[in-house]
């Protein structure tokens, strides 16, 4: 997509180059624009066996595990993916998807994949290779090609940068290696410097392709979405529904106001955000949060003490991530969380560590711990970091919590010993589940759209779980909320 929708226009900024602006008032929760299939999208190697390479339907390999497979992503599917019989690399959910993928780009990649099997090129190299192959075959519209070439590359910044990668190479050395691979496997006659600029352009402008519930799938590049600049307090957010990228407003955006997204997670510390933005995008964020390094209005503790606490907690989190078994990581993550017990749980980096602990509990199928961590975020964190109520991250986390609540209620009804410790709270799980479902259905139209895959997932889950659309009285909900808040507080 190269044409801009009528409600936005492209403008120039003194310090940030081009950006997108509202040409008219955009109401909260309104669709700003939708990209019906980005310029190029590729799956992570780890997802090549679990997602359709055309529509990105996600079919987790352990989908029979109910909430364990689907709580962090889509509904478990019975549909099976079938590999391309020629290259054995990419998979599809239907013959229609395979035909569409072949017509769009796979006919150029298939022979290459066959030669490399079972190895796969890194995502960035794959994107560059695909663009070169499609360009050489004259199967890439000139308008799309020119829009891609007009994107910022920061090639000179990368060349002079000493930023390193996890493999010990500098970012520039990585660009050189990926460009060489793209040149070789596309059999391109383009100068190496040109291909290096393409690679740098992809690194700067590619977005993380996700499921509708933010499970990472791969990389995608939209020449329209790439024009969006960063803000630590953005006024829009991106969601995906299959091949479609949608940008929706988080707040009211007056006419002539710049439209922004966040390039980083709001739950990371300002130093972490500053480092990431400088290393990847070569600018220094000067928003109040990044420039003042506030301690979230905690006069009783110094900035130095907070920073020391954060460093220690992140060290424990990194050590936990390096453990081979999830049961070894759990105690380390709990130790990191315990460091913050005297302070508000929204204080960074506690939210990020809490989410890691939640994922760890899910992997261990420790449902009470996962539920407690999710409730802690629900009550004490998400409303602060993800405003407003229909923020897509907040809605998705309510969706995950709903699934956990339904799972917990089912296990308790079966007398499962793993959730016996929750009996003492006396929660009416059905009341809370209905309240969550109401919030998700009301907010989902603003966060993802009423016609989105996410909306269909929610509707299907509610139907399969036998959850009616009946309302529950506020007083009854409040009573159960107090019980659930105790569970959140007890997890520390």
pLDDT at 77: 44
**Is it the case that residue 295 has pLDDT exceeding 90?**
no
Are 278 and 161 in contact by the 8 Å Cβ rule? The answer is no
**Candidate from 6-15, 73-82, 129-138, 241-250 with smallest mean pLDDT:** 73-82
Are 219 and 434 in contact by the 8 Å Cβ rule? The answer is no
pLDDT at 53: 96
**Is it the case that residue 65 has pLDDT exceeding 60?**
no
pLDDT at 23: 97
- Pick the closest to residue 404 from 442, 378, 438, 443 (CA basis): 378
**Is it the case that residue 443 has pLDDT exceeding 70?**
yes
Residue 123: C-alpha distances to residues 63, 79, 350 (Å): 25, 26, 31
Percentage of residues in the chain with pLDDT exceeding 90? 75
Residue 22: C-alpha distances to residues 103, 271, 419, 448 (Å): 35, 31, 50, 20
pLDDT at 15: 75
Q: Can you tell me the mean pLDDT for 230-247? A: 95
Q: What is the pLDDT of residues 31-62, one digit of tens each?
A: 999 999 899 999 999 999 999 999 999 987 64
Q: What interhelical angle do 367-380 and 392-413 show, nearest 10?
A: 140
Strand partners, 361: none
pTM over 0.85: yes
**Candidate from 22-26, 88-92, 128-132, 345-349 with smallest mean pLDDT:** 345-349
**pLDDT band at residue 292, thresholds of 50, 70 and 90?**
low
Q: Under CATH, which number does the domain 294-490 receive?
A: 1.25.40.10
CA atoms of 263 and 253, how far apart (whole Å): 19
Q: What is the pLDDT of residues 139-168, one digit of tens each?
A: 999 999 999 999 999 999 999 987 765 555
Task: Work out whether the CA dihedral 75, 462, 352, 161 comes out positive or negative.
Answer: positive
- 76 versus 363: which is more confidently predicted? 363
Q: Can you tell me the mean pLDDT for 290-319? A: 75
The token pair that represents 274 in the structure block: 């500053």
Strand ranges, E, within 408-483:
none
CA atoms of 146 and 233, how far apart (whole Å): 31
Are 134 and 105 in contact by the 8 Å Cβ rule? The answer is yes
pLDDT at 80: 86
**pLDDT band at residue 270, thresholds of 50, 70 and 90?**
confident
**Candidate from 71-75, 123-127, 173-177, 200-204 with smallest mean pLDDT:** 71-75
Percentage of residues in the chain with pLDDT exceeding 70? 91
Helix (H) or strand (E) holding 220, with range, is strand 216-221
Residue 150: C-alpha distances to residues 35, 154, 255 (Å): 18, 12, 26
The token pair that represents 143 in the structure block: 């308008």
**Is it the case that residue 308 has pLDDT exceeding 50?**
yes
**Is it the case that residue 195 has pLDDT exceeding 90?**
yes
**Candidate from 108-112, 343-347, 376-380, 425-429 with smallest mean pLDDT:** 343-347
- 296 versus 382: which is more confidently predicted? 382
Q: What is the pLDDT of residues 170-184, one digit of tens each?
A: 899 999 999 999 999
**Rounded (to 5) percent helix, strand, coil in the chain:** 50, 10, 35
**pLDDT band at residue 374, thresholds of 50, 70 and 90?**
very high
Q: How many CB atoms lie within 10 A of CB 103?
A: 11
**Is it the case that residue 217 has pLDDT exceeding 60?**
yes
Are 18 and 12 in contact by the 8 Å Cβ rule? The answer is yes
Domain spans of the chain, in order of start: 39-209, 294-490
**Is it the case that residue 299 has pLDDT exceeding 60?**
no
pLDDT at 17: 78
Helix ranges (H only) for 61-191 are 67-70, 95-101, 107-116, 123-136, 142-149, 155-160, 171-186
pLDDT at 300: 57
Residue 400: C-alpha distances to residues 103, 291, 396 (Å): 36, 34, 6
Mean of all residue pLDDT scores within the chain:
90
Q: Which long-range contacts (CB under 8 A, 24 or more apart) does 337-346 make?
A: 337/313, 337/492, 338/492, 339/309, 339/312, 339/313, 340/309, 340/313, 341/492, 343/298, 343/301, 344/296, 344/298, 344/380, 345/376, 345/380, 345/381, 346/296, 346/380, 346/381, 346/384, 346/385
* β-pairing verdict for 8-13 and 207-210: unpaired
CA atoms of 108 and 133, how far apart (whole Å): 6
Are 351 and 377 in contact by the 8 Å Cβ rule? The answer is yes
pLDDT at 68: 33
pLDDT at 245: 97
CA atoms of 399 and 444, how far apart (whole Å): 10
- Pick the closest to residue 50 from 217, 208, 241 (CA basis): 217
Query: What residues contact residue 168 under an 8 Å CB cut-off, 6+ apart?
Result: none
CA of residue 183 relative to chain centroid, distance? 30
**Candidate from 237-241, 309-313, 326-330 with smallest mean pLDDT:** 309-313
**Is it the case that residue 92 has pLDDT exceeding 80?**
yes
pLDDT at 306: 78
Secondary structure (3-state) at 22: strand
**pLDDT band at residue 475, thresholds of 50, 70 and 90?**
confident
Terminal alpha carbon distance of the chain:
48
**Is it the case that residue 199 has pLDDT exceeding 50?**
yes
pLDDT at 235: 96
pLDDT at 471: 66
């Amino acid at each position: 997509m190269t044409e801009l929708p009528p409600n936005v226009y492209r403008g120039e900024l003194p310090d940030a180059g081009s950006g997108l602006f509202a040409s008219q008032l955009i109401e909260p929760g309104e669709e700003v624009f939708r990209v019906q299939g980005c310029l190029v999208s590729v799956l992570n190697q780890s997802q090549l066996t679990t997602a359709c390479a055309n529509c990105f339907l996600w079919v987790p390999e352990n989908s029979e595990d109910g909430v364990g497979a689907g709580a962090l992503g889509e509904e478990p599917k019975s549909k099976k993916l079938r590999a391309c019989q020629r290259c054995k690399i990419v998979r599809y959910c239907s013959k229609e998807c395979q035909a569409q993928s072949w017509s769009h780009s796979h006919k150029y990649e298939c022979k290459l994949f066959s030669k490399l099997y079972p190895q796969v090129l890194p995502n960035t190299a794959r994107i560059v290779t695909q663009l070169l192959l499609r360009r050489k075959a004259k199967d890439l519209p000139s308008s799309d090609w020119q829009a891609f070439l007009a994107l910022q590359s920061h090639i000179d910044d990368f060349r002079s940068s000493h930023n390193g990668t996890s493999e010990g190479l500098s970012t520039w050395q990585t660009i050189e290696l990926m460009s060489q691979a793209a040149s070789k496997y596309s059999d391109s006659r383009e100068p190496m410097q040109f291909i290096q600029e393409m690679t740098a352009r992809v690194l700067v402008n590619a977005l993380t392709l996700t499921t509708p519930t933010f499970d990472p799938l791969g990389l995608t590049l939209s020449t329209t979405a790439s024009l969006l600049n960063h803000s630590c307090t953005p006024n829009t957010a991106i969601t995906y529904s299959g091949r479609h990228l949608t940008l929706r407003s988080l707040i009211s955006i007056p006419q002539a106001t710049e439209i922004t997204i966040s390039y980083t997670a709001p739950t990371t510390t300002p130093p972490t955000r500053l480092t990431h933005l400088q290393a990847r995008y070569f600018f220094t964020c000067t928003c109040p949060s990044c420039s003042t390094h506030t301690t979230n209005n905690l006069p009783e503790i110094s900035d130095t003490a907070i920073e020391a606490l954060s460093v220690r907690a992140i060290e424990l989190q990194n050590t936990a991530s390096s453990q081979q078994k999830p049961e070894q990581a759990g105690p380390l993550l709990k130790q990191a969380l315990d460091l913050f017990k005297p302070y508000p749980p929204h204080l960074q980096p506690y939210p990020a560590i809490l989410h890691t602990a939640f994922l760890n509990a899910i992997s261990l199928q420790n449902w009470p711990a996962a539920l407690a961590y999710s409730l802690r975020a629900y009550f004490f964190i998400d409303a602060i970091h993800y405003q407003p109520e229909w923020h897509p991250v907040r809605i998705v986390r309510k969706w995950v919590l709903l699934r956990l609540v339904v799972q917990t209620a089912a296990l308790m009804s079966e007398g499962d010993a793993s959730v016996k410790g929750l009996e003492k709270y006396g929660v009416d799980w059905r009341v809370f589940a209905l309240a969550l479902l109401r919030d998700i259905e009301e907010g989902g139209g603003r966060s993802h759209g009423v016609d989105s895959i996410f909306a269909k997932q929610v509707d299907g889950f509610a139907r399969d779980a036998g959850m009616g659309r009946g309302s529950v009285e506020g007083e009854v909900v409040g009573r159960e909320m107090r019980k659930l808040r105790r569970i959140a507080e007890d997890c520390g």
